[in-house]
A and B are shown apart, each in its own frame.
Chain A
Amino acid sequence: MSHNTMNLKLKVWRQKNANTAGAFKTYEVNDISDEMSFLEMLDVLNEKLIVTGDEPIAFDHDCREGICGMCSLYIDGKPHGPWQANTTCQLHMRAFKDGDTITIEPWRSNAFPIVKDLTVDRGAFDRIIQAGGYVSVNTGNAVDGNSLPIEKDKADAAFAAAMCIGCGACVAACKNSSAMLFLSAKVSHLALLPQGDPERKSRVLNMVAQMDKEGFGSCTNTGACEAACPKEISIANIARLNKEYLRAGLTVE
């Protein structure tokens, strides 16, 4: 495979903290290998900024394997950049051409306040999970594997929903800043399994209430979330959430 390097112009959102206004700042990065990941490219820029005494750009990342949900970045008008079903950390520089200008913005939603530069506080997701994204289990010895019979189709659908890494790309992509794809993945994952049954009704009501409290918008089924999701969570989960909600609302004691 040939090695190519490229020179790029980056328009990066810089913001000191939640209380000060931010603005775009333009940087030039040279000799970027097309085999680098997007975050490595930012690392290179940050090293340069540190050497020149500038403040490095703050951005979230952790595993850099596409599984933790920590990285974000709204790159050239799409959460996690131009590739489909991909996280920013798994986006490689071969997605860009020499001479490109890349615009990098943070997730935009009032529910995700900016901490600094490209880093946003996604604690709202944690509080939604705390409101109902759990199951009650007996403590003590671990239960034998496969002691609870679960239909294969349901197990597969639950697993597909459980793929959600809670990165928030759905909120970033949605014109309403709605967290419904995230919430529906969490509700569907547990609603499909027998372990999720005891809290089935209270879970969906409490999680929707918490989502509203956090300041997310409502879903209008545009499908932008599904198209941006790095884990390809299906929008059908949102319809399932709606069903769970209607059922719980009408029948809860």
Chain B
Amino acid sequence: MSSKNMFTSSVGKKLVMAFTGIFLVLFLVVHAGLNACIWANDNGLMFNKAAHFMGSFVIPRVLEIGLFVGIFLHIIQGYMLTLENKSKRAVGYAVSYSKGSKWYSRSMALLGTLLLMFLIMHIYHFWTPSRLGGIGAIQGLKTFELNGTEYHNLYAEMQAVFQSPFVVVLYVLACGSLGYHLAHGFQSAFKTIGIHNKRYHAIISTIGYGFAIIIPLAFAMMPISFYFNLIK
């Protein structure tokens, strides 16, 4: 008996997936809330101020490091678990059993891969120019000055990026993947950390499905709003 391999056993690895997953869910709340400032119809002023706060204040910057560690762990562990689990059945079935489970619960790795591809594009669009602009050949963002402080104009960057219908479609599709990933992931994470009380599990499942619809919908509305000029 030992708790040495607590986080490396099969159950332990799932705990890592669950804890990082819940952390990423919390990040989505912050990200969606902050981005919702674009709908203030003030030409992006509130949004740019909020983004400036996140980029200049120490606590969000530390959390940002945690976010990268969390995403990295979630991705690596997810792929390792998928490969490991696949290897446990050397000879497969001629007729597959698909009735007992939802397709998206069996396709978390595929949905996650789509999200990873999106994430690379997304980081390239916004994070890299904002954080690393000016280093080497990376072009920085446009800036503007307000009361003596220089602000990155991320709002203008969003406007520019979301002029391309191709990019808008990719972002909306990624939100679909996110929705299905969350539809399974949200409630699954809470099961993995041990919530088995019927009442709370029902509440968490309902919140999970709501979350899986509302958050991706809010994100999808952002490129759509820019593309169709729905905000001023």
Contacts and interface: CB of A to CB of B under 8 A. Distances in A.
Contact of B3 (A223, A244, A250): A250
A118 to B, nearest CB: 13
A103 to B, nearest CB: 5
A219 B89 contact: no
Nearest to A79: B97
B196 A240 contact: yes
A24 B94 contact: yes
Interface string A102-131: 010100111100000000000000000000
Given A217-B85, A219-B10, A243 B194 contact: yes
A228 interface: yes
Classify the interface of chain B: helix, strand, loop or mixed. loop
A4 interface: no
Contacts of A201: 1
A110 B88 contact: yes
Interface in A217-235: 217-228, 235
B107 to A, nearest CB: 10
Interface residues on B, range: 35 or more
Contacts of A216: 10, 88
Given A77-B95, A206-B1, A242 B85 contact: no
A172 B40 CA distance: 54
Interface string B30-41: 000000000000
B106 interface: yes
Contacts of B89: 108-110, 177, 217
Interface stretch (B11-19, B49-57, B61-69, B145-153): B11-19
Given A208-B9, A238-B191, A242-B192, A108 B108 contact: no
Interface string A176-199: 111000000000000000000000
A58 B207 CA distance: 49
Nearest to A177: B88
B96 interface: yes
Nearest to B190: A239
Given A24-B94, A245-B11, A221 B188 contact: yes
The 9 nearest A-B residue pairs measured at CB: A243-B194, A227-B100, A77-B95, A239-B196, A176-B85, A218-B10, A222-B101, A249-B6, A224-B100
Interface of B: 1-3, 5-6, 9-15, 81, 84-85, 87-102, 105-106, 108, 184, 187-188, 191-196, 198, 201
19 contacts: A22-B91, A105-B94, A173-B100, A205-B2, A208-B9, A209-B5, A209-B9, A217-B84, A218-B13, A219-B10, A219-B11, A221-B187, A222-B106, A223-B105, A224-B97, A235-B191, A236-B201, A242-B193, A252-B3
Interface of A: 11, 22, 24, 74, 76-79, 103, 105, 108-111, 173, 175-178, 201-202, 205-206, 208-209, 211-212, 215-228, 235-250, 252
